[in-house]
Structure 1
Amino acid sequence: MGEWEHRFCRINGLDVHYVEQGSGPLVVLLHGFPHLWYSWRHQIGPLAEAGFRVVAPDMRGMGRTSGPRDCRGYDVPAVTGDLLGLLDHLGGRRAIFSGLDFGMFAAYDLAHRHPERVAALIGLQNPFINQPEKPPLALAAEAGRKHFYHIHYFIEPGVADRDLDAAPRTFLQKVFFALSGDADYLSSWQHPPGTTYIDALPEAPPLPWKWLSAAELELYVENYSASGFTGGLNWYRVSDIRWEQRKAYQGKKITVPYFFIGSEKDVDLAVWHGKKPLEQLHQRYQDVRDVRILDGAGHMMQMERPDAVTEVMVEFLESLRAGR
């Protein structure tokens, strides 16, 4: 089957980097922040070996994919336009999409707006798009007045950018550890307003960890040192604009086949999707096929429990191919 190949192209006004391996039905893997295509490194080869064409792009403004400095360039039409353009570039009528946090939300938006281009969805950790009654940045500001809250800290352009750009290795090591099943991410909320993110995060043990080596972390450090963090932070800063845009399909179910994989120690699943979010799946999806919860992992599940995540993904993909 061979190794993955790095490719570059021009899509939707961006210089886009993606990795590709394999042939067969198209599977697109979408990362969140502060991640890269590399967060799928354990899944790309095995999914290709299972008979799928696997593509993992760097998302808009992150890694080696360019992005505008203005956060308004990260709204729903822009990001779904990236995915549509990627499909067209790959020659695919439609694809199976999987993702984590912002990457998965982009896939959910695409499934609402262009279901004909989505063969199925495999959600990781984030089971649906939240649509709170108030604009999300207003809610973040309310929380940020009580204690450190990362979304509120990210809002003002130039503040978090400066802090994170000055210490990419420290930030990435601390946030990756904090989000894992080995740490308590919510301990950051014990810090007062005005704390920097790096200071609010728990101290990380020295590398290597059982799921991350120093060399693996270095690839993230090199990429974010080159790009800066503004592109990733803009995905947060545009939250109110996306909230307004998503009202068009609020209350409407996604119609394509849906699978979900979560982990028992994921802070996103525990905190940011309301009470008992998995009980809401049938209210949000017309065709829920399967739901799995893995033990022994936090938000970084593709890296913390790579074999288990890959095994479940292959099972879901083969069930689709078999028409089950």
Structure 2
Amino acid sequence: MLEPLATAHLPPGVRARHIAHVNGLRMHVLEAGEAGRPLLLLLHGFPELAYSWRNIMLPLAEAGYHVVAPDQRGYGRTEGPVPVYDEDLTPYGPLGYVRDALALVAALGHTEVACVIGHDFGAPVAGNAALARPDVFRAVVMMSAPYGGPRAWPLGEQAVAEGLAGLASPALHAALARLDPPRRHYQWFYSTREADADMHRAPQGLHAFLRAYYHHKSADWAANKPHPLGDFTAEALAVMPTYYIMPAGLGMAATVAAEMPDAAAIAANRWLPEAALAVYAAEYGRTGFQGGLQSYRCTTSGQAAAEMRLFAGRGIEVPACFIAGSSDWGVHQKPGEFERMQGQNSKDAGCRDLRGCHLVPGAGHWVQQEQAEVVAGLVRAFLKGLSPG
């Protein structure tokens, strides 16, 4: 059995432990604050860990909360079935992660969560939890990935299978391949059998790969200047940086290698110093990336959309907040999703009670790490505005 993450890697006041029998997992969690206080559940993204929340956990605990951040299924020091390419993806589907979250809440001795907070792929997990069980997840903060909500069923007989839309569309994949130069969507690459080895065994080394990847998607990469894209077409998507719309002939390791920061930039990085990056490299060096990649395969196969059709036309009704970096292309990578999330006067809005939408200057995709103090302040202000109890 793995030991919890060493205290030496964590800020004072943040502790690590394992919790057994959490929906079939031995779940590794970081936590701060006293167990008897209202619960905040923090859900990381890809390629991240519970460790990604390290710098905002104590400020949230000091506001009077029990703050818990798990390594999600397939990540870090959470133990369970070893992720392999040829396996049933159901546990990695949208509701699979919600079941994990519910099981963790119960294992912690809580019956409800004051707020579930998610970043990157953790944002839709948080959003789906609030959508599916608003009686448990009483408020939600989503970071970097807007939540447009499950689409309503189209009326009438359809000419094509409704599920083959958006990122699950083979036609979109083919259209990207026809561009000059040919391109492919990163989620389609992440869905391939070779994606795990491409990153895990990156020619430049795993540490260097992660450095380039995190840099490329951050505000430190000056060319990150996101804007709305309009249509969900190959031509519209192709304006995004290569970490989203990749050269067709390259894997992710080679794609981000071209944007590796120099030694001076690395030394100047305060939000992800080398010692912190080494924690990620050690964890992913041990596990590889397949556990995280499974959720992308659920998306590109259409499985995720099909699973969420149970909630077709519904939106999140508990109080919600959205936070992202002003330099984060993730806000616009799914055209129309950011706008749909905010459509409070529309019956099909993703969030029916959106109380804040913040684009943080000086941050790219890793907003809670790049601007930890600002993000902690925004979350605390949102929590303070919620009704007592």
Question: Would you call these one fold, judging by a TM-score over 0.5?
Answer: yes
Distance 2:337 2:118 in 1: 22
Q: CA deviation at 1:97?
A: 0.4
Partner of 1:22: 33
Larger radius of gyration: 2
Judged with a 3 Å threshold, the aligned counterparts in structure 2 of structure 1 residues 101 and 3 are, in CA distance, closer, same or farther, namely: same
Indicate the larger mover: 135-144 or 162-171.
135-144
Partner of 1:63: 76
Q: 1:216 aligns with which of 262, 272, 276?
A: 276
What letter corresponds to residue 265 of structure 1 in structure 2? Answer: S
Instruction: Tell me the number of residue pairs that the alignment of Structure 1 and Structure 2 aligns.
Output: 322
Partner of 2:141: 122
Indicate the larger mover: 240-249 or 65-74.
65-74
Distance 2:31 2:19 in 1: 13
Please provide the CA RMSD for this pair: 2.3
Partner of 1:142: 174
**Matched-pair contact (CA < 8 Å) for 1:143–1:149:** no
**Matched-pair contact (CA < 8 Å) for 2:146–2:338:** no
Distance 1:77 1:279 in 2: 20
Q: Deviations over 1:131-163 (max 9, x none)?
A: 586342335633652404211111122x01111
Q: CA deviation at 1:77?
A: 2.9
What letter corresponds to residue 257 of structure 1 in structure 2? Answer: P
What letter corresponds to residue 319 of structure 2 in structure 1? Answer: P
Partner of 2:110: 92
Instruction: Trace 1:197-208 onto structure 2 (pairs within 5 A).
Output: 197-201=252-256, 202-205=258-261, 206=263, 207-208=266-267
Instruction: Trace 1:39-58 onto structure 2 (pairs within 5 A).
Output: 39-58=52-71
Partner of 1:233: 293
Distance 1:62 1:144 in 2: 30
% identical aligned pairs:
31
Q: CA deviation at 1:204?
A: 2.1
What letter corresponds to residue 152 of structure 1 in structure 2? Answer: W
Distance 1:291 1:299 in 2: 15
Judged with a 3 Å threshold, the aligned counterparts in structure 2 of structure 1 residues 191 and 309 are, in CA distance, closer, same or farther, namely: closer
Q: Secondary structure at the match of 1:200?
A: helix
Distance 2:309 2:143 in 1: 23
Is 1:164 aligned to 2:199, yes or no? yes
Q: Secondary structure at the match of 2:358?
A: strand
Q: Secondary structure at the match of 1:28?
A: strand
Distance 2:333 2:184 in 1: 16
What letter corresponds to residue 106 of structure 2 in structure 1? Answer: D
Partner of 1:3: 13
**Matched-pair contact (CA < 8 Å) for 1:148–1:191:** yes
Indicate the larger mover: 147-156 or 134-143.
134-143
What letter corresponds to residue 114 of structure 1 in structure 2? Answer: R
- Runs of 4 or more above 6 Å deviation: none
Considering fraction of residues, name the structure with more helix: 1
Distance 1:302 1:196 in 2: 27
Indicate the larger mover: 305-314 or 289-298.
289-298
Distance 1:190 1:85 in 2: 36
Is 1:38 aligned to 2:100, yes or no? no
Distance 2:46 2:337 in 1: 24
Judged with a 3 Å threshold, the aligned counterparts in structure 2 of structure 1 residues 76 and 278 are, in CA distance, closer, same or farther, namely: closer
What letter corresponds to residue 251 of structure 1 in structure 2? Answer: G
Q: 1:112 aligns with which of 131, 135, 140?
A: 131
Q: 1:249 aligns with which of 311, 315, 340?
A: 311
Is 1:319 aligned to 2:385, yes or no? yes
Q: Secondary structure at the match of 1:164?
A: helix
What letter corresponds to residue 248 of structure 2 in structure 1? Answer: P
Q: Deviations over 1:61-111 (max 9, x none)?
A: 011113543233311232111001001001111111011121111111112
**Matched-pair contact (CA < 8 Å) for 1:19–1:37:** yes
TM-score, scaled to structure 2: 0.77
Q: CA deviation at 1:274?
A: 2.1
Partner of 2:371: 305
Considering fraction of residues, name the structure with more strand: 1
**Matched-pair contact (CA < 8 Å) for 2:33–2:64:** yes
Runs (5+) with no aligned partner, structure 1: none
Distance 1:173 1:85 in 2: 34
Indicate the larger mover: 66-75 or 309-318.
66-75
Distance 1:142 1:287 in 2: 38
**Matched-pair contact (CA < 8 Å) for 2:119–2:145:** yes
Partner of 2:332: 270
